[in-house]
Amino acid sequence: MPMKIPNPSTKPQIWFGLLNMLKQFKGMKFNHHAMAIAMGKANLFGGSGRTGEQAVAKSAEAKDATRNSARMMAKQYSEFLRLMGIMVPVGKLRDGIYVTTPLLDDVLDR
């Protein structure tokens, strides 16, 4: 059974959860793997009847790295967050290292 991916453009509670989860990375460099684990701990996705960290662990068992749903969701959300200017790549984009921007604080303070 594939993971159910919440549509971020139609579910405001997912966005608020995602932005609040992202606060923990303030002032730190992070990658999609760290973001996926944080998303799991925040219960922002689930699949195969599992939620949270169990969903992340089950996803990591995929035989092919491209089938790791947790990481794929982190990549999906990071695309939106980068387009919004809330997180930016550090170094080359292919390195997959990111930082949050001050815009995150501005959005959460409102």
* Model pLDDT for residues 37-48, shown as the tens digit of each residue: 888 888 776 656
Residue that is written with structure tokens 């387009």 in the block: 83
What pLDDT does 28 receive? 95
Closest listed residue to residue 17, CA positions, set 48, 31, 38: 38
Cα 80 from chain centroid (whole Å): 10
Q: Which CATH topology does 12-109 take?
A: Arc Repressor Mutant, subunit A (1.10.10)
Tally Cβ neighbours within 10 Å of residue 95: 10
pLDDT in tens, 79-97: 889 999 999 999 887 788 9
Closest listed residue to residue 39, CA positions, set 27, 63, 23: 23
In the structure, what pLDDT confidence band is assigned to residue 1 with cuts at 50, 70 and 90?
A: very low
